[in-house]
Amino acid sequence: MIAIRLAWRNLQRNRRRTVLTSSALAIGLTVLIVQLGLLDGTDQQSINNLVAYDVAHVKAFAPGYMDQDLPGLDHTLSGVDSLLSLLDGTRDVVAATARLEMSGMLIHGGEELFTRVVGVDPVRDGDVFGTLRAVVEGRSIQDETPVALVGDRLASDIGLGVGDIVTLLVRSAPGALNTRTLPVVGILSSGHPKVDQFAVYVPLSLACDMALLPDAATEIAIRTERLKDSELVSRTLARIIPGPDWRAWDDLAGDFIRLARMKRTAQGIIIAVLALLAAVGIANTMIMAVHERTREIGTLRAFGFSSSLIGRIFLWEGMLIGLIAGSAAVIIGVAVVSYLGVHGISLEAYGDMDIGYPIRDAIYPVINAGSVISSFIFGLVLSLLASWGASRRAARGQVVRALREGSL
Amino acid sequence: MVTIHIPLLLSLLLLCSMVTLHAQTAEEWLQRVDRHMVLASAEYRATMTVHLPRGVERLFRFEGKVVGDRLGMMEFLEPPRQKGTRYLKRENNLWIYFPRQDRTMQIQGHMLRQGVQGGDLSFEDLTESGAMLDRYRATISRETDTTVIILLESNDMTVSYPYRELLVDRRSSLPIRIVNSDAGNRPIKEVAMLKTERFGDRIYPVLTEIRSLLVENKWTRFEIEDIRFGVEFPPETFTRKMLER
Amino acid sequence: MTDDGVVQVNGVEKSYSEGQVRALRGVDLNVPQGAFLALAGPSGSGKSTLLNLIGGLDVPDSGSVVVEGRQLDNLSEKERTLLRREKIGFIFQQFNLVPVLTARENVELPLEILPGYTRHSRREAADKMLRLVGLEGMEDRPPNKLSGGQQQRVAIARALVKRPAIVLADEPTANLDGETGMAVVELMRRMRNELGTAFILSTHDPRVIERAETLVRLVDGRIAE
Ligand SMILES: Nc1ncnc2c1ncn2[C@@H]1O[C@H](COP(=O)(O)OP(=O)(O)OP(=O)(O)O)[C@@H](O)[C@H]1O
Ligand SMILES: [Mg+2]
């Protein structure tokens, strides 16, 4: 207790120095908290978008499909109708739908774009994916009538609008080229670049016709009760319906998750450097404090304060700086993240640039208790480590010299 | 032995005379076309002009060696940015070598059918030189004094253009115009032989225009500057080693 | 030598700088309980060195120092720390009050590390001590709001609050003007009278020497009779 009290008093006495030192750390930790909030928000939004428009909860593919660099029609699922009715009667499966996806060209006048042609089940798709509900202009795909939906980015890239006629050119499974000319009936806007920029949606039956593959699909996508259970459900399905290659969402989003982790690491390094600077500041302050208070250290030692107790006084000083800085950072950081969480950080400046996340328009940071607490603890640990040296030095000094010369 | 040979010789003679007198069936016409067009082995230098819808034009110059539709090697001479880039085709495999990065990339499966340099000529088009007779059923749809229109229909759906229409010049037995269509017989591309030249007993198109029928104002022109047929290539010509030399 | 002394020093030698400076060259000293002893001598004669050895802040090269029956050179650093904590009070030339603590907190300081004290009893003991040294009403002042003499009184209270057997004061008046210094010495004597604590003061102030009951003179590291 006396160690904390002395530490606290000393901090109060050198108020300016304390404020300066803890400000540096507080800024570092605030940046960390905001940054993590940003990352957490980005991850959450990304995952939401990925699940809603891309990877669903669980998917089934034909074996070998996922091994291709650019998945084509070489490995497709057949007997899709019976597979779907089997899934409909399976526990844990809330909804299931089939999609047939292939590479192709979208042609409109003099414009020609590489795209993914995605055949969607007009009835079932909406129970698994949000894609068909992401129509912002025109209407969605309602039946097997040959119509197309395109993303808003793709549309604006080549000046497409609702009612325009486009031609799709694909390579069918056997190899022959196949084309269809059909009207665009709706424009999609989801936030996921794959939907908004790189895909054209058509009714599943049309896609099958174009691929010359009746009753086939490149994937069956499933919605489960909870995203968290997808891994489990995937394994269960693999057991009860062997044959297809079953994958849970996090497996499919692997690239994204790896990327997110990488960004986290990269940003972590930047923050670590920032924090290190702050820690150097603390270390410096603490060494200065030990230096200034040598005679005091000698006096306390003469009174019978043990060297470890002396060390603890300085350790506490550092810790308190960390506590002050951490508390300030938590308050400021949480406030900033909350504000940004409501107002969002516009991505307009990035324009159509691919920022590597399935997100656009704005990022909404979120407060994640784990992130905030770990930032706080990180600050404490950092300040503890920073004051370690000074503390050791204070504890190790010789009493006689400290008293006589005022130096350790 | 002799008794076996006589009918064979006879039928051959008969066939030859029929062909020279006047080709009648669609198959025969196609055979004659293939005789001009199929390259058992050849070495050439050519330019390719890719015209894109917005008026952008790109010019490529390259040298190539082919043996049927099995082996092919191509090297870009122009533009400077592409100079030294080589393509190697062996059976169904295609490799591209980029000298700047000293890197080789293998093109597989459907990528083979991608247009080269944004043009309408796919890797497959560039390197394939097989006989049409093997892959299509042919019928004559119309005949005039100077031309024959032959319709081709794929036996299966494994070719890029399951339906093709050839406008063959009676005199030269060369297709002057080819319309390539998709699986539903919807036209996709039109190939026009704008200029031909005689090389010994072979007539070969030296200026060809491939026009997209889907994308407005997009075409590719292919001009042979120099070609030699029946070249004997050393066995190592079509190897990875020569590609990356 | 009598063995009832609170401090017994026998043939102590101490040198510094690898033997080049011989600070003490065989010192014998017996300090009885309740003594009021002045250690006099010129600068560099070894007064501080001797006090440090008695206080267990340092150990002799040879010879022995016994405090309250315990031979210091046989004790570990830890044990010496404990001995200091319980038995020895220190007063310094520069007062050495902890600047961030009030007078009362400074006095409470030695009790913080002793068992058996509550917050309340510490405060009571400190206030009582401050009253005894005549600083009633100044308990809450920080050191920089006290005069030199008042600071040294706080230091005396701090040294005495745990009722040590012995108080070691290294030139306690050197930083005070004559009159204040005398008052401080008088206070110490009075405290000795009241509490029975032995005092050893190092000094070269003749007026302090005058007020000592026992005088030991050190010259070149030896006791001069
Ligand atoms: N830690 C040390 N390292 C080196 N020499 C020392 C040390 N402490 C004391 N000395 C030397 O030992 C001798 C005795 O010093 P000491 O401080 O005991 O004398 P003193 O009588 O207290 O003198 P003063 O009246 O100046 O305080 C001196 O020559 C001093 O320089
Ligand atoms: Mg001295």
- Sorted by where each begins, the domain ranges of chain C are 7-223
Q: What is the pLDDT of residue B238?
A: 83
Question: Which residues crowd ion ligand 2, with CB under 5 Å?
Answer: C 48
First and final CA of chain C: distance in angstroms?
Answer: 16
Both structure tokens of B202: 């072979």
Interface test with A, best of B123, B136, B157 (most A CBs within 10 A): B157
Q: Does residue A352 carry a pLDDT above 80?
A: no
CATH number for C7-223 (one of 3.40.50.300, 3.40.50.970, 3.40.50.720, 3.40.140.10): it is 3.40.50.300
| Distance, CA of B220 to CA of A220 (rounded, Å) | 40
Q: Does residue B213 carry a pLDDT above 50?
A: yes
Per-residue pLDDT band for B114 (boundaries 50, 70, 90) equals low
Q: Compute how many other C-beta atoms are within 10 angstroms of the C-beta atom of residue A350.
A: 10
Contact at CB, B182 and A179, closer than 8 angstroms: yes
- Chain C nearest CA to A6, separation (Å): 8
Contact at CB, B159 and A176, closer than 8 angstroms: yes
Per-residue pLDDT band for B108 (boundaries 50, 70, 90) equals low
Among the partner residues A13, A304, A307, nearest to C85 by beta-carbon distance:
A304
**Residue entry with tokens 């907190």:** C105
Contact at CB, B214 and A107, closer than 8 angstroms: yes
Mean pLDDT of B67-78: 82
First and final CA of chain B: distance in angstroms?
Answer: 52
Query: Which of A67-71, A394-398, B108-112 is most confident?
Result: A394-398
Q: Are A92 and A229 in contact (CB under 8 A)?
A: yes
Distances, alpha carbon C213 to alpha carbons B47, C29, C189, C201, C209, in Å: 120, 15, 10, 11, 8
Q: What is the pLDDT of residues B165-174, one digit of tens each?
A: 989 888 888 8
Give distance in angstroms: CA of C170 to centre of ligand 2.
7
Q: What is the pLDDT of residue C1?
A: 43
Pocket test for ligand 1, best of C47, C50, C94, C223 (most atoms within 8 A of CB): C47
Q: Does residue B134 carry a pLDDT above 80?
A: no
> Quick one: DSSP state of residue B157?
S
Per-residue pLDDT band for C86 (boundaries 50, 70, 90) equals very high
Give distance in angstroms: CA of C22 to centre of ligand 1.
9
> How many residues comprise chain C?
225
Q: Does residue A24 carry a pLDDT above 90?
A: no
Q: What is the pLDDT of residue A305?
A: 92
Contact at CB, A176 and B217, closer than 8 angstroms: no
SS (H, E, C) A296-357: HHHHHHHCCCCHHHHHHHHHHHHHHHHHHHHHHHHHHHHHHHHHHHHHCEECHHHCCCCCCC
Strands (E) across C19-136 are located at 21-31, 36-40, 62-67, 70-71, 88-91
* Partner residues linked to A188 by β-bridges: A135, A151
Domain ranges of chain A: 2-50+256-405, 63-243
Q: Compute how many other C-beta atoms are within 10 angstroms of the C-beta atom of residue B54.
A: 9
Q: What is the pLDDT of residue B2?
A: 31
Q: Which residue has the higher pLDDT, B21 or C191?
A: C191
Q: What is the pLDDT of residues A249-272, one digit of tens each?
A: 888 887 777 887 788 788 878 877
Q: Does B have 3 or more CB contacts under 8 Å with C?
A: no
Q: What is the pLDDT of residues C17-40, one digit of tens each?
A: 888 889 999 999 999 989 999 999
Mean pLDDT of B49-60: 84
Q: Are C167 and C197 in contact (CB under 8 A)?
A: yes
Distances, alpha carbon C217 to alpha carbons A385, C45, C107, in Å: 50, 9, 32
- Residues with Cβ within 8 Å of C35's Cβ and at least 6 positions away in sequence, in order, are C6, C198, C199, C200, C213, C214
Per-residue pLDDT band for C107 (boundaries 50, 70, 90) equals very high
Nearest Cα residue to A130 out of A71, A61, A192, A66: A192
- Chain B nearest CA to A183, separation (Å): 15
Report chain B residues whose CB lies below 8 A from the CB of A178.
182-184
C20 lines ligand 1 (CB under 6 A): no
Give distance in angstroms: CA of C191 to centre of ligand 1.
29
Both structure tokens of C182: 């005398």
Q: What is the pLDDT of residues C146-163, one digit of tens each?
A: 999 999 999 999 999 999
Give distance in angstroms: CA of A396 to centre of ligand 1.
22
C187 lines ligand 1 (CB under 6 A): no
C21 lines ligand 1 (CB under 6 A): yes
Q: Which residue has the higher pLDDT, B202 or A145?
A: A145
Q: What is the pLDDT of residue B119?
A: 53
- Mean pLDDT check: name the lowest of A237-241, A329-333, B119-123: B119-123
Pocket test for ligand 1, best of C9, C13, C15, C16 (most atoms within 8 A of CB): C16
Element at A203 (helix H, strand E): strand A199-203
Nearest Cα residue to B40 out of B63, B12, B65: B65
Q: Does residue C118 carry a pLDDT above 70?
A: yes
Mean pLDDT of B9-37: 59
Sheet holding C70-71, edge to edge: C21-31, C7-16, C62-67, C70-71
Q: What is the pLDDT of residue B16?
A: 38
Give distance in angstroms: CA of C142 to centre of ligand 2.
27
Q: Does A have 3 or more CB contacts under 8 Å with B?
A: yes
C52 lines ligand 1 (CB under 6 A): no
Give distance in angstroms: CA of C87 to centre of ligand 1.
25
Chains interfacing with A (3 or more CB pairs < 8 Å): B, C
Per-residue pLDDT band for A56 (boundaries 50, 70, 90) equals confident
**Residue entry with tokens 């902890």:** C98
Crossing angle of helices A369-396/A254-292, nearest 10°? 30
Q: Are A196 and A190 in contact (CB under 8 A)?
A: yes
Mean pLDDT of C55-59: 91
A406 in contact with B, Cβ within 8 Å: no
Of all residues in chain A, the one with the smallest CA distance to B180 is: A177
Q: What is the pLDDT of residue B15?
A: 40
Q: Does residue A33 carry a pLDDT above 70?
A: yes
Among the partner residues A10, A295, A304, nearest to C81 by beta-carbon distance:
A304
Backbone torsions φ then ψ of A331, nearest 5 degrees: -65, -50
Domains and CATH numbers, chain B: 26-243 (2.50.20.10)
